[in-house]
Structure 1
Amino acid sequence: MSVIDLGGSVQEGEELDIHAVESWLKQQGIVIEGQVELTQYTGGASNWTYRLKYHNVDLILRRPPNGTKAKSAHDMAREFFVQKHLAAYYPVVPEMIALCQDPHVIGCDFYVMRRIEGIIPRAKLPPELQLNEEQINQLCRNVLDRLIELHQVPYEATELKYLGKGEGYCQRQVEGWDKRYEKARTINVPSFGYVRQWLKDNTPRESKICIIHNDWRFDNVILDPESPTNVIGVLDWEMATLGDPLMDLGNALAYWVEETDNMIFKSTRRQPTHLKGMFTRKQVVDYYMRQTGLDTTNWTFYEVFGVFRLAVIAQQIYYRYFHKQTKNQAFKDFWIVIHALHIRALKLIAAEKFKHSKINTKYLHKVQGILKK
């Protein structure tokens, strides 16, 4: 059994006009030899992703789903632009080959990049890797180091300076996700009223402005098959922008399920962060702050925001199920997860309040013990 992500059969309704694509590739001067082996990657990304394997070249094609427009969350040109201009400073982005914005080819924008052959670490690491605790710890560090390296990219002297507004990012994010939650609320989920107001009242100025990935997870990196603790690729740049790096970290931590987390969170785990050797969420923050020298004063805001943002994402998905816009049974219990995320956000806020109060130390330790349960 291969540990390499190879893709699978193309899904019904998501067929690719390969003849039109091949004709366009040749017009771009791209040499392709032999019969194409066409497969599709169906996990994770919102955009449709195909593998085009030829005798002489191995390509990936990304396009938006049917019914979406390019100037939206599925902006192919923007995704292509980010990776193309990052390449000189951040060599783990895939090599961009060509961008198509002619709707006459396949009916939508798309781009083609060179495939990076490797392992994508999902909820379970392939048992064939046989990584020990020390190696898993090194993998954890290496994934975090790649995030830290991204946050150090000198974007100011490049075209990437036009990627986003930068200053005021935290406030815009709080306001934007607040509106999204209100729009997606259903009668069986909490209002998040206290959490939402707390975020508005405690929004800090940005720790700094840099390029952020905005969807940093283990299943968005590629590991070297020969040395599987090393990260050789970073994928899914559709939400990258200029913003606060601690927002990037806080958002990533919302997905970080620990070995000691409750069963609700364990049921949502998408990455191998529960394994022995992986950092806890606190250790992730400590490591990141040591490596970057950024201030931890306002850290609770970033962690609470990450939890709230994940709750909004889950609620937007659940909204579709609740209103019978999808029959996917995988979404039917998302409302339970949203309640659990609400409790986590409240616990984080409560712990922050107790930390700064003059309450009796013995009592504080007792309360903190309760909050950990």
Structure 2
Amino acid sequence: MSDQNDHLHRLVDEGALSEFLSEHLGSKDELDIEHHDEGHSNEVLFFDWDGQGYALRRPPAGETPESAHNVLREHEVISSLAETSVPVPETVVACDDHSVIGSDFFVMKRLDGTVIHNDTGEPERFGTPAHRERIGSELVRTLATIHDVDYERVGLGEYGDPDAYLSKQVGLWTHQMEESFDRSGREVDALRAAAEWLDESIPEPADTTLVHGDYKLDNVMFGPGTPPEIVGVFDWEMSTLGDPLADVGYMLFNWTHGSEELSIPELFPPFTEKEGYPSQQELVRMYEDESGRAYRHDRFYRALAGFKLATALEAFYARYLDGETTDPMFPLLEDGVPELAARVQRIIDGEEPLE
């Protein structure tokens, strides 16, 4: 049995899942599941059922941080956004009975389109300056739409506690950093220094909105046509109520990083340096125009973004060391996390301003 098939069988009991789906979607003779291997966090499994494509989201196999990979939280927010202008997939059913596949999971209808992954680059149909500019403007417009949601009206008033959101974020990710260091058996000094600086530098929040928490180019899907149009926003596991500028900083941190070589080049999209793609500063101006909200304290928000990403990747590296994943990217994190932490330190020191 191949490593891929072995991993799939760790993620799902096809017989138990087929029985569960028959109860909720109607009977079907055979279930054929395909593992989506582009992501590195929650797992995605694709399957067809009576001519309709579906996607199943579940946590990764093995030990994971207590606060991470909450797929039922994803299901809640995506379902609540169904009647808003935020483009999200249609959810179908959620399950917290671990006797089915061994974890929580939910099922949503599969969307048709393209996710622009950093390692595959832009699709050919988007390869013009006008379409590239539209990719950036669509990314910003959709983020502003998320931040404009009346979260009380859609039933998300209790979705999170926005009081002291930024300090809680710093504390949460610092705690996860410590857990990850304990599991990986190493220290990354620049990451620990970043945690200390962030704790001492927390600004007053801009206001309170729904925040995505992991908003970046490869967490949205563009429709199959042109010009580029976002038809879906994915990976809501870190969403909550809080400071919208944290999402802006995260988007900017993940947009581009010059031509510096990293151990994990697929983390950042070098193709966004091509003619037409907006610069980070242009993305900021777009967001301010779309939202009517000023983007301030850039060093803090981008450093927080990099700290979150590096800490999450250290947890992935620990999972790799424990033999819990075969993801080919994870061995590269031995050098990749320290490199990322060094970049965070450059932002803190003012050595990497917005491009």
Residue 199 (structure 2) pairs with residue 238 (structure 1): no
Query: Per-residue displacement from partner, 1:246-271 (whole Å, max 9, x unpaired)?
Result: 1112122222224x331228824354
Q: Is the 8 A contact 1:61 1:113 kept in 2?
A: yes
Distance verdict in 2 for CA 1:278–1:265, change over 3 Å: farther
Q: Is the 8 A contact 1:33 1:56 kept in 2?
A: no
Q: Secondary structure at the match of 2:170?
A: helix
Q: Secondary structure at the match of 1:162?
A: coil
- TM normalised by structure 2 equals 0.84
Q: Which amino acid aligns with 1:66?
A: A
Q: Counterpart of 2:88? A: 93
* TM-aligned CA deviation for residue 191 of structure 1: 4.1
2:262 to 264, 275, 281: 264
Q: Is the 8 A contact 1:122 1:270 kept in 2?
A: no
Residue 146 (structure 2) pairs with residue 154 (structure 1): no
Quick one: distance in 2 between partners of 1:294 and 1:180? 31
Residue 10 (structure 2) pairs with residue 11 (structure 1): no
- Structure 2: give runs of 5+ residues left out of the alignment: none
Quick one: distance in 1 between partners of 2:239 and 2:59? 16
Quick one: distance in 2 between partners of 1:105 and 1:311? 33
Distance verdict in 2 for CA 1:132–1:172, change over 3 Å: same
Quick one: distance in 1 between partners of 2:354 and 2:101? 52
Q: Which amino acid aligns with 1:280?
A: S
* TM-aligned CA deviation for residue 283 of structure 1: 2.3
Quick one: distance in 2 between partners of 1:330 and 1:274? 23
Distance verdict in 2 for CA 1:18–1:209, change over 3 Å: same
1:81 to 76, 79, 88: 76
- Structure 1: give runs of 5+ residues left out of the alignment: 1-8, 352-367
Query: Per-residue displacement from partner, 1:234-288 (whole Å, max 9, x unpaired)?
Result: 1111111111111112122222224x33122882435443333222222222321
May I ask how many residue pairs the two structures share in their alignment?
A: 346
Q: Counterpart of 1:309? A: 308
Q: Which amino acid aligns with 2:141?
A: D
Distance verdict in 2 for CA 1:206–1:181, change over 3 Å: same
Q: Counterpart of 1:358? A: none
Query: Per-residue displacement from partner, 1:32-84 (whole Å, max 9, x unpaired)?
Result: 66654432212214222221213432211222233469985233322211111
Quick one: distance in 1 between partners of 2:167 and 2:217? 27
* TM-aligned CA deviation for residue 159 of structure 1: 2.0
Quick one: distance in 1 between partners of 2:82 and 2:221? 16
Distance verdict in 2 for CA 1:139–1:107, change over 3 Å: same
* TM-aligned CA deviation for residue 182 of structure 1: 3.8
Quick one: distance in 1 between partners of 2:33 and 2:286? 42
Q: Per chain length, whose mean CA-contact separation is higher, i.e. which structure has more relative contact order (CA < 8 Å, sep 6+)?
A: 2
Query: Per-residue displacement from partner, 1:91-139 (whole Å, max 9, x unpaired)?
Result: 5111011122333333332221111011111123355425211111111
Note the aligned Cα RMSD (angstroms). Answer: 3.2
Q: Is the 8 A contact 1:254 1:310 kept in 2?
A: no
1:56-71 → structure 2 map (5 Å cutoff): 56-67=51-62
Larger Rg: 1
- Indicate the percent of aligned positions where both proteins have the same amino acid: 27
- TM normalised by structure 1 equals 0.81
* TM-aligned CA deviation for residue 349 of structure 1: 3.1
Q: Is the 8 A contact 2:281 2:354 kept in 1?
A: no
Segment drifting more, 311-320 vs 109-118: 311-320
Query: Per-residue displacement from partner, 1:211-249 (whole Å, max 9, x unpaired)?
Result: 111111222111111225111111111111111111112
Q: Secondary structure at the match of 2:284?
A: helix
Q: Counterpart of 1:360? A: none
Quick one: distance in 2 between partners of 1:40 and 1:228? 29
1:198-209 → structure 2 map (5 Å cutoff): 198-209=197-208
